[in-house]
């Protein structure tokens, strides 16, 4: 991860299996959704971020993608 100065914003590219699905949750993207959460958590654990801001997570997509996920808050 890059070292940032105050006021800078890091933007990361994270591969998404099917990015042409706006408004249509797809199980094929389950690993992508979980990966974005894991990266955000890792940044906080390393002290490189103080907050995590996420969009709603579709738990059904994760479960259909064979990732047991009961929720987040």
Residue 15 pLDDT more than 60? yes
Give the pLDDT score at 47: 87
Separate counts of helices (H) and strands (E) for the chain: 2, 0
Mean pLDDT of the 43-53 span: 87
Residue 9 pLDDT more than 90? no
Q: What is the DSSP letter of 29?
A: G
Q: Which helix (H) or strand (E) element contains residue 37?
A: helix 30-45
Using CA atoms, how far apart are residues 43 and 63, in angstroms rounded to an integer? 25
Name the region of 5 (left: φ>0; alpha: ψ -120 to 50; beta: rest): beta
Residue 35 pLDDT more than 80? yes
Give the pLDDT score at 45: 94
When the pLDDT of each residue in the chain is averaged and rounded to a whole number, the result is 82
């Amino acid at each position: 991860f890059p070292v940032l100065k105050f006021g800078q914003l890091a933007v990361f590219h994270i591969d998404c299996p099917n990015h042409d699905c706006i408004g249509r949750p797809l199980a094929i993207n389950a690993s992508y959704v979980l990966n974005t959460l894991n990266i955000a958590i890792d940044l906080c654990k390393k002290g490189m971020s103080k907050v995590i801001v996420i969009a709603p997570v579709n738990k059904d997509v994760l479960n259909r993608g064979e990732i047991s996920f009961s929720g987040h808050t």
